[in-house]
Amino acid sequence: MSQLQRRVGKANFLQIHVSYVPLIGSEQKTKPTQRAISDVRSGGLRPDLIACRCETPLEESTTRKIANTCQVERDQVVGVHNVSTTYQVPILLETQGFLNTLKDLLEINTIHIDGKYMEQGKIMWQKWHGLAMSQDHVFDTVSIVLVGKYTSLHDSYLSVTKALEHASMHCQKKLNLVWVESSHLEEDHQQENPAEYYKAWHAVSTADGILIPGGFGQRGTEGMIKCAEWARTKNVPFLGICLGLQVAVIEYARNICNMKQADSAEFNEESEQPAIVYMPEIDKSKMGGTMRLGKRPTLFQDGTEWSKFRKLYGNKQEIWERHRHRYEVNPDLVDQLESAGLSFIGKDESGKRMEVIELKDHRWYVGVQFHPEYLSRVITPSKSFLGFFAAAAGCLDEITETFQGAHDLSHLEVRPKVNSV
């Protein structure tokens, strides 16, 4: 890194050293930071900024001591104390003039940004500030149960959990995320481990909303199907993503269309009633590099203006979302499923690939073939997650009305072009 710093020049390289400042008794100790900076310098690097992690706000005397002993300016030391949510950290840095210090160190004060982008940036910052700071005054809790196959490692669903957080912030509710292993909901597990079985079903039956995320393979899918049935019959808000949509279709085919052997080609290639099939362009002999990937359009169908899901998009005709799948709803069964009440409100450009399902008279029963969590951001949450969480929180009508007004910042550009003067 020291070689890189010399090669690119001081104004093109900036090192931020993060150091812990422990609180012993009532005194903030600086020795660990001093020693850490000394060790880094012995390796040929000189930190430009020192970010001090601490339990309480960094005291002025501590800040000056670190600046003096580590041979940096006062404004090159910033305190990052514990806050109620990590989304408040940018606000904490902004109050300490962090951005101005960065501009000075990187010598970018002469860059001119168009006034339009400056105004957009101000709006985005105001929105971020309002969302983050409001979390200190949120007390109502919404319980969402995530029924997945890899719940022992929560990071497997990191994008999903972040998308739920974004939605909860806009709904002004606290998120209580309950993890349920889908295999624990299956009848076989009742014999193997009754305690886990009943604990899992208690979580599902008491949740405000049920989410089934993406996944691959047969394990645990019967539990997901049972869970989708519970959400449908008990009028509990439901969101199925990728595999979640597919198990919802299988459940509907079995229990409403009387297709008792309905299954997925992924789980049973010999199924006599395949509700989910390989996409025709997929090579069954290969597994690597065969998925339908990337951002693709979904077209809302005529006569679906009633859709709660579509209304969150302002009744647009077309939306773009990211995909990652190799199976799809069997197009030969679509008419039968729709005649039984399952609406395929969104399809691809060809009209043959199903993208979104919804039940008309349900509080929120939506399945999407795409992965909406990939495009969710703090300021612009995924509409799929926002609608689902709002329905679970009992504020869907309010969110639908307000999100399309002043609160919808999806038109803003996050990375404006800049011109040097």
Please spell the DSSP secondary structure of 110-122, one letter per residue: TEE--HHHHHHHH
Assess whether 373 carries a catalytic annotation.
yes
Stated length of the chain? 421
Q: Estimate the crossing angle of helix 31-42 against helix 60-69, to 10 degrees.
A: 30
User: Which of 269, 307, 308, 273 has the alpha carbon at shortest distance from 391?
Assistant: 308
Tokens 């624990």, located at residue: 184
**Residue 82, phi then psi, degrees to nearest 5:** -60, 135
**Residue 224, phi then psi, degrees to nearest 5:** -65, -40
Which of 242, 266, 321, 325 is catalytic? The answer is 242
Q: How far apart are CA 196 and CA 202, in angstroms?
A: 10
Q: How far apart are CA 113 and CA 365, in angstroms?
A: 44
Enter the DSSP assignment of 305: T
User: Which of 49, 107, 41 has the alpha carbon at shortest distance from 74?
Assistant: 49
User: Which of 76, 82, 24, 34 has the alpha carbon at shortest distance from 54?
Assistant: 82
Enter the DSSP assignment of 154: G
User: Which of 243, 275, 245 has the alpha carbon at shortest distance from 260?
Assistant: 275
Tokens 């812990």, located at residue: 20
* 124, 383, 403, 416 from 406: Cα distances, Å: 12, 16, 7, 21
Q: Rounded to an integer, what is the distance from CA 313 to the centroid of its chain?
A: 18
Which of 166, 184, 189, 371 is catalytic? The answer is 371
Q: Rounded to an integer, what is the distance from CA 53 to the centroid of its chain?
A: 26
Alpha helices in 295-408 (DSSP H): 308-312, 334-339, 383-393, 396-403
Which strand (E) or helix (H) includes residue 204? helix 194-205
In the structure encoding, which two tokens stand for residue 133, read together? 């700071």
Q: Rounded to an integer, what is the distance from CA 387 to the centroid of its chain?
A: 13
Enter the DSSP assignment of 58: P
Helix (H, G, I), strand (E, B) or coil at 140: coil
Beta bridge partners of 296: 321
* 112, 138, 361 from 392: Cα distances, Å: 45, 16, 15
Which of 186, 222, 358, 373 is catalytic? The answer is 373
Active-site annotation, residues: 242, 371, 373
